[in-house]
Structure 1
Amino acid sequence: MSASPEERRVIPITEAPSYSAPEDSLATLLAFLRRRIAGEYEVDEFGYDAELTDKVLLELIRPLYRHWFRVETLALGNIPSDSGALIVANHSGTLPVDALMMQVAVHDEAGRALRLLGADLVYKLPVLGHLSRKTGHTLACRDDADRLLRKGELVGVFPEGFKGVGKPFSERYRLQRFGRGGFVASAIRAGVPIVPTAIVGAEEIYPKIGDLRHLARVLGLPYLPITPFFPWLGPLGLVPLPSKWMIEFGEPIRTDSYDASAADDPMLVFELTDHVRESVQQLLTSLRLRRGHAFF
């Protein structure tokens, strides 16, 4: 028995799945290589190469972000969509993998480039220093921070520095000292908000249980960690453990009510620095409880 017209309704296909042919991918790759060889690409005054960062460098670490650490981001709406801000986060993990994961999070989830401020040591290393510049990182100094913020860029900073990233596993998720508050002064001068940010998950990737201090001093490093797997397993000990990560961007702390000259008031800078540190610690504590088990 034939179906009635009502039963023979045709459901329209509003959007067909798109498939990228191998020829298209190859053509895209060849076009990219041609531009690179011909020098037809742009870098800014800091050496940031947006195309290389997105198409190559971030692409290399996205599998870690999506599949190994399974990063979950929260409160992305606290990141300004088109104006400058200073993102201030906790630092941990023995190696600064947390900086790279936060950069991917802001780029892929919020659609903005994150300009990270790095320590002097990074730029003394030939290959690493060059790649850092290419991905938009720059030296953690007043001049660079001020220029980026006044240009409306998102700037990321880890005020704990090596004391945070290199702390022992027994002190995990306890914030170290935030320095003298230079980042707060830069935010005041630029009149941009400070976004306190908590990163949970990095503490477990390389649990630091010891330090080869004498060898680190010879190599000019701030520390040389001993973990349950390094140096005992050699290169295999450098594989990070697959902890579950969460990154939460807190409520912005406004600075535009202050005059730029307030950046020179040490008491005000100290009070704001302490306020930011306390905000990050509170976020960190609650986010750690929310995540639960470190590996599931």
Structure 2
Amino acid sequence: MKGRHTMTTTAAITAPASLGDGTRSAGERILRSALATAADNLEPLMNIYQPYVEGLANLPADGRFLLVGNHTQLAAAEVILIPYFVRQALGRQVRTLADRQFGKGGGLQASLVAAYGAIIGSPEAAATLMRADEPILVFPGGGREISKFKGEQYQLRWDNRFGFARVAIEHQYPIVTAALVGGDDVYTSLTTRTGLYGRASEWLGRRLNGRADMAMPLLRGVGPTLVPRPQRMYLRFGSPITTVRPPDLSPEDWTHRVKDDTQAQLEADLKDLQQIRCTDPYRALNPLSWRSAATPTSADTDR
């Protein structure tokens, strides 16, 4: 049926690396089991919402790759959708490198991060996962990329973050970009970062946690409320980017090249997906447009 997303099922799911698995509390083990069960039963929901997905054929079959994605205002979208489609395509659980802010608070938040198979991001953690040949997901912009002020939709806030490139080069891990569009359209930002409110929010962030980059804009969703607007999600996995250094480049020059190439590919895919979204009649999940939803033109959604 046109517009219906079809899944490729897998016979078995490869267990993730046991980074601290033996020390998990009973609560974390229960949460992890519940999350795994939920992830394995999302297909009916996916068939209704029909995420637009391209590039599954670009995922290395051995599961040895670093996914580099963009954060959106609806951060749960990328954190759920990217691992879900990798798991459906390859039968592997993606290990997400989470922003340190998500593990600081402890309690349920930290338990959910651990139960989901995520670990707090660091070069050491990434290296451990790579030595175990695990598929890994990282968002170089971190938590600061989630809060979007007016005009910042789908902009990457990487600045001089080269860590993901360095560790991928060290372990010769290919990089696959994972561009997601839709999550920045669930809310409308009412304030700019340089305006009075934006500057005040940055000041408050510095006072509360020492980070001005975690400022929060004023938002609205459905009407004047904070209820997120229904939006279809658009996901593209890019062609693998090699991290094997050519002999004519220094290690530092190659690190910059890999980082710049990754960012350029992700930004180009975000731009393409926004253009696709603009002409998609199902972008706001209108049930009357369900059958005419835009679909990828290539066959790479199946593996």
| Structure having the higher Rg | 1
Cα distance 1:178–1:197, how it changes in 2: closer, same or farther (>3 A)?
Answer: farther
Corresponding position of 1:276: 262
CA drift at 1:109: 4.2
Compute the RMSD of aligned alpha carbons: 3.2
Which residue of the partner structure matches residue 284 of structure 2? 295
Distance, in Å, in 1 between the alignment partners of 2:33 and 2:64 is 21
Matched, 1:83 2:49: no
- For residue 132 of structure 1, what is the amino acid of its counterpart? V
Answer 1 or 2: higher relative contact order, Cα 8 Å, separation at least 6: 2
Residue 91 of structure 2 corresponds to: 111
Q: Percent identity?
A: 23
Separation in 2, partners of 1:53, 1:291: 30
Task: Summarize the Cα distance change of 1:181–1:42 in structure 2 as closer, same or farther, 3 Å threshold.
Answer: closer
2:128 corresponding residue in structure 1: 147
Distance in 2, Cα, partners of 1:167 & 1:275:
24
- Which of 231, 238, 241 is the matching residue for 1:243? 231
Is the 2:16–2:95 contact (alpha carbons within 8 Å) kept by the matching residues of 1?
no
**Could you tell me how far apart the structure 1 residues matched to 2:257 and 2:168 are?**
14
Residues 152 and 132 from structure 1, CA distance in 2 versus in 1: closer, same or farther, beyond 3 angstroms? same
Q: Give 1:107-186 correspondences, 5 Å limit.
A: 107-125=87-105, 126-186=107-167
Counterpart selection for 1:194 from 146, 167, 175: 175
Question: For the residues of structure 1 that align with 2:65 and 2:158, how far apart are their CA atoms?
Answer: 22
| Unaligned residue ranges in structure 1 (runs of 5+) | 1-40
Residue equivalent to 2:195: none
CA contact (8 A) 2:141 2:157 kept: yes
1:71 is matched by which residue type in structure 2?
Answer: P
Number of equivalenced pairs: 247
The answer to whether the 8 A contact 1:196-1:279 is kept is: yes
Q: Distance in 2 between matches of 1:66 and 1:104?
A: 13
Q: Relative to 1, partners in 2 of residues 1:45 and 1:231: Cα closer, same or farther, differing over 3 Å?
A: farther
Query: Structure 1 residues 66 and 109, CA, compared in 2 at 3 Å: closer, same or farther?
Result: farther
Give how far 1:279 is off. Answer: 0.7
TM-score (norm 1): 0.72
Note the C-alpha offset of 1:178: 4.8
Larger mean CA deviation between 272-281 and 211-220 belongs to: 211-220
Counterpart of 1:24? Answer: none
* 1:141 maps to amino acid: S
Question: Which structure 2 residues correspond to residues 1-40 of structure 1 after superposition, within 5 A?
Answer: none
How far does residue 135 in structure 1 lie from its aligned partner after superposition? 1.1
User: Which one-letter code corresponds to 1:153 in the other structure?
Assistant: E
Answer yes or no: is the 8 Å Cα contact 1:196–1:251 preserved in 2: yes
Residue deviations 1:134-178 (CA, integer Å, cap 9, x gap) = 111111100000111121111011112234221224221233335
Q: Which consecutive residues of structure 2, in runs of 5 or more, have no partner in the other structure?
A: 1-14, 192-197, 286-303
- Residue aligned with 2:97, SS: strand
- Please give the TM-score of this superposition, normalised by the length of structure 2: 0.70
Identify if the C-alpha distance between structure 1 residues 52 and 174 changes in structure 2 by more than 3 Å, giving closer, same or farther: same
